[in-house]
Amino acid sequence: MFENKLFTALNISDNEGLKVFAKKTKIKIAKLKYYNNESIFPNDDDLTRILEVINISELEFKLKMGIFDSKIFQAISDHAKNITNIIESDLKKNNSKTEEYIPIFETALGKLYQEDSLSLIKSLEKQSVDLIFADPPFNLNKRYESNMNDKLTKEKYLEWTENWVLGCLELLKEGGSFFIWNLPSWNTHISSILNKYLTLRHWIAVDIKYNLPIPNSLYPSHYSLLYYTKGKKPNTFIQERLQLEICKRCGADIKDYGGYKNKLNTKGLTLPDVWRDISPVRHNKYKTRDSNQLPINLLERIISMASNEGDIVFDPFGGSGTTYIVSEVLNRRWIGSEIGPIDSIINRFEDIEFHRQQIIDIQNKKNILFTEEMRKIRKKNGYWLPETLKR
């Protein structure tokens, strides 16, 4: 807590110092901790009191906190040469020497490394990857098989996030696609990084409900999936279409399309930016580890939509290996990293035919308005079909 920028700027290094500062400024300790822990710039009267006590200007305080509004950015831009001369040597000190790593598991198409993702990213060839999918730790103090620290301060987590995101940007080809799966609260910060370098295609909301009681809050019912491209448009975008929403038992329409039925594409409905057909992996038949596991149909959709056979897919946070399994089945070359145990990933490759059949089943149910089974049910019960509308 005391390593965060606010308390560092205020020269607060322990609880005793915090109590003294709170007394001087007449700001409650809880509020000072809130500003510090959430990396939020102090508001209104609180800011005035703080500046009086530490005796610096608001501009200097903002610079110490890393808060840059448009006026500060403009001033930095106007004096870029002078500022570069001051900080360039410090930035060069942080450039660590890259190493070569040996994959611990390989297939004909892919390589899996048991390394820290930041280190591996620095070692890979720049502008060599067509598609990046990342599912980083959410910083929720969860237990992972790797025993990694998943409870950093907000500031440290965002600093680490910026490092791996910027590293991935260097790996991406022009026209390549970058997907990041995270909680909406973290992806707002990640968007602020990516918006400086890439083009936002979509903020995709993936509707996954766990139905847990959440007091004093709106129920968080979706994950955020960011979709960015390097350049104005992606090299690859393959349209996916969905089946019509109908009653699985009787075949009746769930949504009324009125007089627009004859205008529907016979290959299905255009995929929206809210995905309601992705379910968490709970059944032991499909689940391969204790921690959360990404669904096969999520990665099948992303990889099929944003890459071609032979393209290179990179996932810096392997987890259960879903990205690698789907890439292998879909004939994409892949590179992966997992800092924790990888036995469960390797075991999935030994059972790859099971996953291949899963993916075949997924693909057989998309890019059509109705399955053959559902067509028969609708015909039997007198509901419309594309050919009856044309007649």
Between 290 and 379, the higher pLDDT residue: 379
Report the predicted TM-score, pTM, of the whole model to 2 decimal places. 0.89
User: For residue range 327-342, what is the model confidence (pLDDT) as tens digits?
Assistant: 999 999 999 999 999 9
259: helix, coil or strand? helix
Check whether residue 184 and residue 332 sit in a common domain: yes
Judge whether 378 lies within some domain: no
Residue 204 lies in a domain: yes
How much is the pLDDT for 293?
79
Q: How far apart are CA 243 and CA 248, in angstroms?
A: 12
What's the structural domain count of the chain?
2
Which pLDDT band, with edges at 50, 70 and 90, does 148 fall under? low
- Model pLDDT, residue 143: 62
pLDDT of residue 145: 59
The total of other beta-carbon atoms located within 10 Å of residue 354's CB is: 12
Q: Minimum mean pLDDT among 5-19, 54-68, 210-224, 319-333: which range?
A: 210-224
What pLDDT score was predicted for residue 285?
54
- Mean pLDDT across the chain, nearest whole number? 90
146 versus 93: the higher-pLDDT residue is: 93
Domain end point (choices 31, 58, 93): 93
Quick: pLDDT tens for 341-368.
999 999 999 999 999 999 999 999 999 9
Residue 248 falls inside a structural domain: no
> Does 291 have pLDDT greater than 70?
no
Residue 361, in any domain of the structure: no
What average pLDDT does the segment 278-293 reach? 61
- Tell me if residue 345 falls in helix, strand or coil: helix
Output DSSP code: residue 312.
E
**Under 8 Å CB-to-CB from 41, ≥6 apart: which residues?**
35, 47, 62, 65, 67
Q: Does one domain contain both 114 and 142?
A: yes
| Token digits of residue 120 | 């591996």
Could you tell me if 141 and 282 lie in one domain? yes
pLDDT of residue 347: 94
* Overall average pLDDT of the 259-263 stretch: 82
What pLDDT, on a 0 to 100 scale, did the predictor assign at position 95? Answer: 62
26 shares its domain with 155: no
Taking the C-alpha atoms of residue 134 and residue 178, their distance in angstroms, rounded to an integer, is 8
Q: How confident is the model at residue 380 (pLDDT cuts 50, 70, 90)?
A: very high
- In the chain, the amino acid numbered 337 is S
Residues 127 and 193 in one domain: yes
Q: Is residue 229 part of a domain?
A: yes
The pLDDT tens digits for 204-222 are 999 987 666 778 888 888 9
Choose one of 62, 93, 124: the last residue of a domain.
93
Q: How far is CA 256 from CA 62, 117, 200, 246, 384, in A?
A: 54, 48, 32, 10, 12
Alpha carbon distance 100, 123 (integer Å): 6
The pLDDT of residue 144:
58
Looking at the structure, tell me whether residues 199 and 144 fall in a common domain.
yes
Q: How far apart are CA 247 and CA 252, in angstroms?
A: 5
Q: H helices of the chain, where?
A: 5-9, 15-25, 29-37, 44-54, 58-65, 70-78, 80-93, 117-123, 154-171, 184-194, 296-306, 322-329, 343-350, 352-364, 372-381, 386-390
pLDDT given for residue 225 in this prediction = 98
More confident residue, 308 or 153: 308
User: Is the pLDDT at 140 greater than 90, yes or no?
Assistant: no
Of 331, 350, 369, the residue at which a domain comes to its end is: 350
Residues 318 and 342 sit within 8 Å (Cβ to Cβ): yes
Q: Which domain holds residue 186?
A: 105-236+273-350
For residue 292, the model assigns a pLDDT of 62
pLDDT tens-digit readout, 85-99: 988 887 776 666 678
Check whether 283 has a pLDDT greater than 70: no
Same domain, 66 and 189: no
Indicate if 202 and 310 belong to the same structural domain. Answer: yes
In a domain? residue 363: no
Residue 364 is assigned to a structural domain of this protein: no
CB-CB contact of 344 with 114 (8 Å): no
Tell whether 391 is covered by a domain.
no
Is 123 in the same domain as 85? no
| 214 within 8 A of 244, measured Cβ to Cβ | no
**199-207 and 333-337 as β-strands: parallel, antiparallel, unpaired?**
unpaired
Quote the pLDDT of residue 217: 84
Residues 84 and 112 placed together within one structural domain of the fold:
no
> Is the same domain home to 74 and 181?
no
User: Same domain for 83 and 175?
Assistant: no
CATH of the domain at 282: 3.40.50.150
pLDDT recorded at residue 104: 96
